[in-house]
């Protein structure tokens, strides 16, 4: 399969957003989410810079999806503040969210619509300018030409992932949130998608927040990682040097060590 990601070009649309080159794309401060007595996310602060891919890691139940959903404006935080391109997600919701998009395996596109119809539907929703041209570019970029008139419901999970990524790029988001984007892909397709996403981060003007349980992938793709445990950021740093700093050979080993500590604390029932 060939992806034309090497031919990636900045669309004039990205220039309309007029981002300040040095300011972070995403600023999260003191973020918290409680469900009754249970704190799913507590006092989480971090930034995503321009041209940066930040990995949000942590064991099952650590609070990754909850954090992403608050950034997306889907969940209301119990505490804290989220700024996207300087716009407050709660107070300047439209301005913040029109600069954002996401793709997640658990959020498939409507299966009764074709690839083209889905991209058109979401493009209209995001009020994308020159929509017909944008759709053609994305259909080609994500190798979807032969599926253009196929209903999304009959596509394989890997093909659906590519449509989800194309949908996520419709509005040229400054902040792209990806929840396990390669989870259902075969190794060759996953590699192409990783390369494509890296090209988007490198050549665009935005940043990417990426969750994954694949530590090799994280090491390859992410510039920085945040390790969440029981809703709090436990560690952060460069995924290539963090393991050695904490006496482990690989990021996988470090993850297992932290996850075991997390499980032990859960078993003790401490908050
Ligand atoms: N609506 C809810 N009501 C109560 N608890 C919830 C709710 N949603 C999430 N939680 C809890 O919040 C915690 C964090 O969940 P979250 O889905 O953010 O974890 P995660 O890190 O994304 O996990 P995974 O890797 O399994 O997807 C979990 O303990 C979960 O049970």
The domain locations on the chain are 109-172
* 109-135 tens-digit pLDDT: 999 999 999 999 999 999 999 999 999
**Is the CB of residue 100 below 6 angstroms from any atom belonging to ligand 1?**
no
Q: What is the pLDDT of residue 17?
A: 45
Given this model, what pLDDT does residue 16 score? 39
Q: Ligand 1 centre from 64 Cα, in Å? A: 8
Closest residue by CA, ligand 1 atom 11: 40
Residue 269, classified by CB atoms within 10 Å of its CB into exposed (0-12), middle (13-18) or buried (19+), is exposed
For ligand 1, the distance from its centroid to the CA atom of residue 186, given in whole angstroms, is: 27
* Per-residue confidence (pLDDT) for residue 9, from 0 to 100: 37
Return the pLDDT at 19: 52
> With a cut of 0.95, is the ipTM above it?
yes
- pLDDT tens by residue, 56-103: 999 989 999 999 999 999 999 999 999 999 999 999 999 999 999 999
Res. 11 pLDDT band, cuts 50 70 90? very low
Tokens of 160: 């659906």
Does residue 208 have a pLDDT over 60? yes
Name, in order, each residue with C-beta under 8 angstroms of 132's C-beta and a sequence gap of 6 or more. Answer: none
226-267 pLDDT, tens digit per residue, is: 999 999 999 999 999 999 999 999 999 999 998 888 777 777
Compute CA distances 236 → 211, 215, 227, whole Å. 14, 14, 6
Q: Is the CB of 66 under 6 A from ligand 1?
A: yes
Nearest CA to ligand 1 atom 2: 35
The candidate with the shortest Cα–Cα distance to 216, out of 207, 225, 204, 208, is: 225
pTM, full prediction? 0.87
Please tell me if the CB atom of residue 60 comes closer than 6 angstroms to any atom of ligand 1.
Answer: yes
- pLDDT over threshold 80, residue 210: yes
Task: Give the span between the Cα atoms of 110 and 214, in whole angstroms.
Answer: 27
């Amino acid at each position: 399969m060939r992806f034309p990601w090497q031919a990636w070009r900045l669309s004039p649309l990205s220039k309309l957003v007029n981002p300040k080159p040095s300011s972070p794309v995403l600023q999260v401060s003191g973020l918290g989410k409680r469900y009754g007595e249970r704190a799913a996310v507590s006092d989480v602060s971090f930034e995503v810079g321009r041209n940066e891919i930040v990995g949000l890691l942590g064991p099952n139940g650590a609070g990754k999806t909850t954090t992403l959903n608050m950034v997306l404006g889907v969940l209301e935080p119990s505490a804290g503040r989220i700024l996207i391109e300087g716009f407050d997600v709660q107070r300047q919701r439209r301005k913040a969210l029109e600069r954002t998009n996401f793709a997640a395996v658990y959020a498939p596109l409507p299966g009764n619509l074709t690839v083209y119809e889905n991209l058109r539907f979401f493009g209209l929703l995001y009020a994308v300018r020159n929509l017909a041209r944008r759709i053609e570019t994305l259909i080609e970029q994500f190798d979807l030409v032969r599926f253009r008139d196929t209903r999304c419901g009959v596509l394989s999970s890997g093909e659906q992932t590519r449509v989800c990524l194309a949908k996520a790029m419709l509005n040229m988001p400054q902040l792209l949130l990806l929840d396990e984007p390669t989870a259902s892909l075969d190794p060759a397709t996953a590699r192409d998608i990783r390369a494509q996403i890296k090209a988007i981060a490198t050549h665009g003007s935005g940043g990417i927040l990426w969750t994954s349980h694949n530590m090799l992938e994280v090491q390859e793709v992410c510039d920085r990682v945040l390790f969440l445990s029981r809703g709090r950021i436990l560690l952060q740093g460069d995924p290539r040097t963090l393991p050695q700093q904490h006496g482990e050979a690989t990021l996988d080993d470090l993850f297992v060590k932290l996850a075991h500590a997390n499980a032990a604390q859960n078993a003790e029932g401490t908050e």
